[in-house]
Amino acid sequence: MGDQRARTAGPAERADPSSRRWLRRLRSAGGERDAAIAELHELLLRAARFEIRRRRTAFPQLRGEDLDALAQQSADDALMAILEKLDEFRGESRFTTWAFKFALYEAAANVRRRAWRGRELPLGPEAWTPLADARAGPDHGTQTAELLAALGEEIERSLSARQRQVLVALALEDVPIDVLAERLGASRGALYKTLHDARAKLRKRLAARGFELPDQRRRM
């Protein structure tokens, strides 16, 4: 009987007491809701600061005032997303654990966007033509050098200009997809589809030339 009730209970009923209290307070009105929002924002700010400090070594160009502003923005963005998605909380973890994921995601995305601010995106031929010259590289084995050379040739020969831009930026240069979407005025979904189509075309072309390009070897 107890197991049956657990299976049929809604998310709020399945959640632990602390999580149910969070949901009740955030769905209330007046001062109780305001206090809950302020408390949650402070927790999100703490999580955002942790994630930004963790990523700081990868982006030495960020200054102290940048980091604090990023943490505040990340906490604000995470709070708005959580309030919009309260009904999606399933009670499978503690509410704070679920909420922290929003702060960590927003902090990581904001750090990436800030790090690319003012930087030119590597979208031109100079970003992929070095692959075509890999046959002469002393650090590669013969087979790898031939594969890289063929890959560079097919990027230039087989892909459309848009496919080249997206593939080079996302797969070769590690440009964050949200940054690329903003620069190109495209949605993330559209970019993912373009990237998928470009990868599929390259695999087909390379296979026809006798090469294999496993997903685990290259992010193509």
CATH number for the domain spanning 168: value is 1.10.10
69 shares a domain with 33: yes
Residue at a domain's end among 85, 115, 145:
115
Residue, of 62 and 12, whose pLDDT is higher: 62
Residue 220 lies in a domain: no
Note the helical H segments in 9-167.
11-14, 17-26, 31-55, 64-84, 95-115, 129-132, 142-158, 161-167
Taking 70 as the threshold, does the pLDDT of residue 12 lie above it? no
Residue, of 107 and 3, whose pLDDT is higher: 107
The CATH number of residue 110's host domain is 1.10.1740
Taking 50 as the threshold, does the pLDDT of residue 3 lie above it? no
Residue 215 lies in a domain: no
Q: In the prediction, which pLDDT does 218 show?
A: 42
pLDDT digits (tens, 9 = 90+) for 45-88: 999 999 998 887 766 666 666 788 889 999 999 999 999 999 99
Residue range 159-178: mean pLDDT, rounded: 86
Q: In which band, very low, low, confident or very high, does the pLDDT at 217 lie, cut at 50, 70 and 90? A: very low
Q: Which of 129, 176, 123, 134 is nearest to 155 (CA)?
A: 129
d(CA 106, CA 70): 9
The number of distinct structural domains making up the chain is: 2
Q: Which of 106, 76, 98, 81 is nearest to 22 (CA)?
A: 98
Q: Which of 89, 51, 93 is nearest to 73 (CA)?
A: 51
41 shares a domain with 103: yes
Distance from the Cα of residue 200 to its chain's centroid: 22
Residue 203 lies in a domain: yes
Phi first, then psi: what are they for 84, rounded to 5°? -75, -25
Total-model pTM: 0.62
Q: In the prediction, which pLDDT does 68 show?
A: 85
Taking 90 as the threshold, does the pLDDT of residue 104 lie above it? yes
CB 107 within 8 A of CB 70: yes
Q: In the prediction, which pLDDT does 125 show?
A: 60
d(CA 85, CA 185): 26
Residue 154 lies in a domain: yes
51 shares a domain with 146: no
Q: In which band, very low, low, confident or very high, does the pLDDT at 136 lie, cut at 50, 70 and 90? A: very low
Residue 216 lies in a domain: no
107 shares a domain with 136: no
Residue 176 lies in a domain: yes
Residue, of 97 and 114, whose pLDDT is higher: 97
Range of the domain at 195: 125-208
| CA angle at 189 for the pair 185 and 191, rounded to the nearest 5° | 60
Q: In the prediction, which pLDDT does 60 show?
A: 65
